[in-house]
Amino acid sequence: MAATRTLYSYWRSSAAYRVRIALHLKALDYAVAPVHLVRGGGEQHQNAYRALNPQQLIPILVDGDHMVRQSLAIMEYLDEAHPDTPRLLPGDPLARARVRALAQMVACDIHPIGNLRVLQYLECQLGADDERKLAWSRHWIEVGFAAIEAVLAGEGHAGEFCEGDSPTLADCCLVPQVYNARRFGVSLDRYPTIVRIDSACSTLAAFRRAAPEAQPDAPAA
């Protein structure tokens, strides 16, 4: 049976990456509709896509007749719509709040100020060269990771994953940001708990299948 879900995605988008992980963790079939964020000035800015998402951002999930925007909202929607699949949010209210907080530390605090449109603004409007853009990205990842490492290592709730021994929404958000950190040359030596959790996630097929290089729109090796 053909997938009834379509994910508008770009292979190297952190936000799309985290939703792909969630879909695979919950074993939900989906088709990818690639949106190239760079080619031709960015396909997300074309009229056809702007009609779907006035923010001109990805991802978007189309599920049957319904459309959901914003990665955190998409993942929580999937968790609530499919409660019989592995849960991304724990049942305990405090554990659920901790998971949401970790996810937001990535998705709301680190990622937005280092994504493509911010880097393009730094270059085109403020004259930042590649070295300064790289320094910007590294700085904000390091600031965010220092806080996340302190929470994970110091509060005693992390197990094999960010919260206990099952992957959650927090891991869906953390792993793509670790990918970005490596891409931008951030040293991870100061974040051993983050590295350990990322390594644990890499053993799961759901994370490997969601990885950027495994996507149909990834450049050929």
* Tokens of residue 77, six digits: 């929607």
**Are 98 and 53 in a shared domain?**
no
Reported as a single tens digit per residue, the pLDDT across 91-106 is 999 999 999 999 999 9
Count of C-beta atoms within a 10 Å radius of residue 127: 8
Final residue before a domain boundary, out of 86, 119, 147: 86
- Same domain as 44, residue 125: no
Give residue-wise pLDDT tens across range 172-212.
999 999 999 999 999 999 999 999 999 999 999 999 999 99
Task: Tally the domains of the chain.
Answer: 2
Copy the structure tokens of residue 167: 């992957």
Q: What integer pLDDT is reported at residue 4 of this predicted model? A: 83
In a domain, 215, yes or no: no
Average pLDDT, the chain: 95
Q: What's the helix, strand, coil split of the chain in %, to 5?
A: 55, 10, 35
What percent of the chain has pLDDT above 70?
98
Helix (H, G, I), strand (E, B) or coil at 148: helix
Residue 3's pLDDT is 60
Query: Structural domain of residue 78, as residue ranges?
Result: 5-86
Element (H, E) at 13: none
pLDDT per residue as tens digits for the range 141-180: 999 999 999 999 998 999 999 999 999 999 999 999 999 9
Is the pLDDT confidence value at 1 over 70? no
